[in-house]
Homo-oligomer: A and B are copies of this chain.
Amino acid sequence: MVQGADTRRFRIAMAQLNTTVGDFEGNLQKMLEAVERAKVAGVDLLTFPELAVCGYPPEDLLFKSRFIAENRRYLQKLVEASAGITIVAGFADANDGIYNAAAVIHDGGLADIYHKIFLPNYGVFDENRYFRPGDSCPVYIIAGVGVGVTICEDIWYKGGPASVQAHAGAEVIVNISASPYHFGKGNTREEMIATRARDNTAIFAYNNLVGGQDELVFDGGSLVLDEKGRLLARGKQFEEDMILADLDVAAVAQARRREPGRQKGAASQKDPPWPVTRATLSEKPFNTEKPSISPRKVKTRSLPAEIYDALVLGTGDYITKNGFKKVLIGLSGGVDSSLVAAIAVDALGKSNVVGVAMPSRYSSEESLSDAELLAKNLGIRLLNIPIERVFQAYHDTLAEAFKETKPDITEENIQARIRGNILMALSNKFGWLVLTTGNKSEMATGYTTLYGDMAGGFAVIKDVPKTMVYELARYRNELAESDLIPSSVIDKPPSAELRPEQKDSDTLPPYELLDPVLKAYVEEDKSVEQIIATGVDEEVVRRAARLVDGSEYKRRQAPPGVKITTRAFGRDRRLPITNRYKGR
């Protein structure tokens, strides 16, 4: 393949796009812009994320034959714009079944189609529901360089398709991906790819998706690592980006020549699990004169910064991709609603966020003044709609039915539901989306009112444990270099203020004790006994588990929210409501 001294360099561009499910026209426009930029940069290969044409994950839209047909039609438009360039783009292919596919497009034609081989079917993923696995491992010669194309999960396991391709002569492994965020995942991903690069002596170019889609946030952070696992380029996190890099392919060939057991060019595994196919697209680059580039390595950041940005992107995308402009938030003067308001302002701008204070007879004076101060700090409009009159009307209306009963949680829930109804009325009247403010500790234990504080379109911090809510509030203040979220909000003991002198700690264990237990029980499937064995108070653990188990029916009716942990409530954790398992 290579004559004389090997000086091959390969210029790659990865378009880290924010696609939208079903938005064929919008997604195509973004791709066409990237094609123009890539042509100007003289790249040898331009890549797009997994299922970029139709958006990811399309879920049961894939069962609509018209959806698949539209996606093919828009792929064809991309093909038609590909004169003078090579492109790898994700789309949904269909012939004898549906495939999660990568189109290999070269100079105005569709050269080949690769089918994803490893289909994730765990956690939030249901790919076996839709896709058939591919069964062959292509290696393409592009501008004289051996390139292997893979999709997401394909590179997550040792000995997978990338290894087969590398052994069959691929010097660059391209991976188009849609890998959802949870905190810490960036590191895991980078280490995994570095290992894969070293194991296979190949350059890995990993093109991730970016953007929010219902409960998922794709965090971008696309990567290029060389054959020694060293970072060459890292894209922005939580933003669209175009990652450009010149790959020293000659160095790969040289490193491989030094490896015992590998025969240059003809090297191959014995009986690879998937047959290798080979296709030569071009022996020479389209462009020999290339403008100089310097690849960027966007720095990784602190955990709260990363999580905060995930929440901002996930919330903003949910709102705008669903056609809303403004949001409405019930401001209690507590830390949860204050954090949600800050996130909303960062996502949409202050003019698109409206706060509503809804004081009752049990609200403290500080609650209203804190809400007012927060609104002032954020620069948002604040409505004040007291709920007393409605609460009294419910009281009177139910007096006959409730005679001979005592006040209990019923009256607390009525107040929460009046607030929910007022927010929904404002939402209906003005077309603003209601953001709910419950955190993960509350969602886990059911310390929340169905149709009350749970009422709304998007639950911004439903996957954020209470202790992390405080961390994020402090982070946001550090960023602002001020008490954007008033210190009185952060410092006061948490309370739902639904009865006199109520504190969360009347009902729940302290959050510093509770949150680690919830993590172990919910995210790690630890049993009550296993958690107690780590030294946590038995009563705390049993109570937490009982509350989690008994609140499944509430969570099933909750609005979606951004997944930021390894296991969010929602499609990530599928428990029956009807469930007598008490062994826990």
Q: Give Cα distance in the complex from A441 to B228, angstroms.
A: 59
Query: Please, which residues of chain B bring their CB within 8 A of the CB of A579?
Result: 21-22, 61
Cβ-closest chain B residue relative to A427: B410
Say yes or no for A417: interface residue by CB 8 A criterion: yes
Interface 9-residue window, one of A29-37, A52-60, A461-469, A484-492:
A52-60
Say yes or no for A255: interface residue by CB 8 A criterion: no
Say yes or no for A80: interface residue by CB 8 A criterion: no
Query: Please, which residues of chain B bring their CB within 8 A of the CB of A402?
Result: 429
Q: Per-position contact with B for A46-90: 1 when CB-CB < 8 Å, else 0?
A: 000000000101111101111100100000000000000000000
The answer to whether B389 touches A393, judged by C-beta atoms less than 8 angstroms apart, is yes
Cβ-closest chain B residue relative to A390: B393
Q: Give Cα distance in the complex from A121 to B321, angstroms.
A: 30
A235 to chain B, nearest CB (A): 23
Within 8 A of B (CB), among A556-584: 556-560, 573-584
Q: Give Cα distance in the complex from A425 to B391, angstroms.
A: 12
A50 to chain B, nearest CB (A): 15
Copies, count: 2
The answer to whether B425 touches A398, judged by C-beta atoms less than 8 angstroms apart, is yes
The answer to whether A413 touches B424, judged by C-beta atoms less than 8 angstroms apart, is yes
Say yes or no for A362: interface residue by CB 8 A criterion: no
Say yes or no for A422: interface residue by CB 8 A criterion: yes
Q: A424-B417, A451-B424, A560-B556 are in contact. Are A59 and B574 (CB under 8 A)?
A: yes
The answer to whether B525 touches A63, judged by C-beta atoms less than 8 angstroms apart, is yes
Say yes or no for A396: interface residue by CB 8 A criterion: yes
Categorize the interface residue count of chain A. Answer: 35 or more
The answer to whether A26 touches B425, judged by C-beta atoms less than 8 angstroms apart, is no
Say yes or no for A150: interface residue by CB 8 A criterion: no
Other-chain contact of A575, B61, B122, B401, B414 (Cβ < 8 Å): B61
The answer to whether A525 touches B64, judged by C-beta atoms less than 8 angstroms apart, is yes
Q: Per-position contact with B for A498-531: 1 when CB-CB < 8 Å, else 0?
A: 0000000000000000000000000001010110
The answer to whether A578 touches B409, judged by C-beta atoms less than 8 angstroms apart, is no
Query: Please, which residues of chain B bring their CB within 8 A of the CB of A24?
Result: 581, 583
A584 to chain B, nearest CB (A): 7
The answer to whether A425 touches B557, judged by C-beta atoms less than 8 angstroms apart, is no
A576 to chain B, nearest CB (A): 5
Q: Give Cα distance in the complex from A22 to B397, angstroms.
A: 41
Q: A26-B580, A577-B214 are in contact. Are A451 and B457 (CB under 8 A)?
A: no
Most B-side CB within 10 Å, residue of A321, A392, A580: A580
The answer to whether B387 touches A583, judged by C-beta atoms less than 8 angstroms apart, is no
Cβ-closest chain B residue relative to A406: B429
Q: Give Cα distance in the complex from A575 to B126, angstroms.
A: 12
The answer to whether A576 touches B59, judged by C-beta atoms less than 8 angstroms apart, is yes
A178 to chain B, nearest CB (A): 13
Within 8 A of B (CB), among A170-212: 212
Say yes or no for A478: interface residue by CB 8 A criterion: no
Q: Per-position contact with B for A386-422: 1 when CB-CB < 8 Å, else 0?
A: 1101101110111011100100111001100110111
A417 to chain B, nearest CB (A): 5
Cβ-closest chain B residue relative to A122: B129
Say yes or no for A294: interface residue by CB 8 A criterion: no
Q: A59-B575, A66-B527 are in contact. Are A23 and B580 (CB under 8 A)?
A: yes
The answer to whether A401 touches B383, judged by C-beta atoms less than 8 angstroms apart, is yes
The answer to whether B393 touches A422, judged by C-beta atoms less than 8 angstroms apart, is no
Q: Give Cα distance in the complex from A413 to B392, angstroms.
A: 20
Q: Give Cα distance in the complex from A436 to B229, angstroms.
A: 58
Say yes or no for A385: interface residue by CB 8 A criterion: yes
Q: A424-B413, A451-B421, A558-B557 are in contact. Are A397 and B386 (CB under 8 A)?
A: yes
The answer to whether B424 touches A578, judged by C-beta atoms less than 8 angstroms apart, is no
Say yes or no for A128: interface residue by CB 8 A criterion: yes
The answer to whether A392 touches B394, judged by C-beta atoms less than 8 angstroms apart, is no
A61 to chain B, nearest CB (A): 6
Q: Give Cα distance in the complex from A515 to B408, angstroms.
A: 44
Query: Please, which residues of chain B bring their CB within 8 A of the CB of A377?
Result: none
The answer to whether B578 touches A61, judged by C-beta atoms less than 8 angstroms apart, is no
The answer to whether B426 touches A401, judged by C-beta atoms less than 8 angstroms apart, is yes
Cβ-closest chain B residue relative to A358: B397
Query: Please, which residues of chain B bring their CB within 8 A of the CB of A386?
Result: 397
Q: Give Cα distance in the complex from A10 to B174, angstroms.
A: 61
Q: Give Cα distance in the complex from A418 to B425, angstroms.
A: 12
Most B-side CB within 10 Å, residue of A61, A421, A422: A421
Other-chain contact of A578, B318, B385, B426, B451 (Cβ < 8 Å): B318
Say yes or no for A213: interface residue by CB 8 A criterion: yes
**What are 22 pairs between A and B in contact, CB < 8 Å?**
A22-B582, A59-B575, A60-B573, A61-B579, A61-B581, A66-B527, A66-B584, A129-B574, A318-B578, A322-B553, A322-B577, A385-B397, A386-B397, A390-B394, A390-B397, A397-B422, A417-B417, A417-B420, A418-B421, A451-B455, A553-B559, A560-B577
Given contact pairs A26-B580, A386-B397, enumerate 18 new A-B contacts (beta carbons under 8 Å).
A22-B581, A61-B576, A61-B581, A121-B128, A126-B574, A317-B578, A322-B553, A322-B577, A385-B398, A385-B401, A389-B397, A410-B428, A413-B425, A413-B428, A417-B417, A420-B451, A424-B451, A560-B577
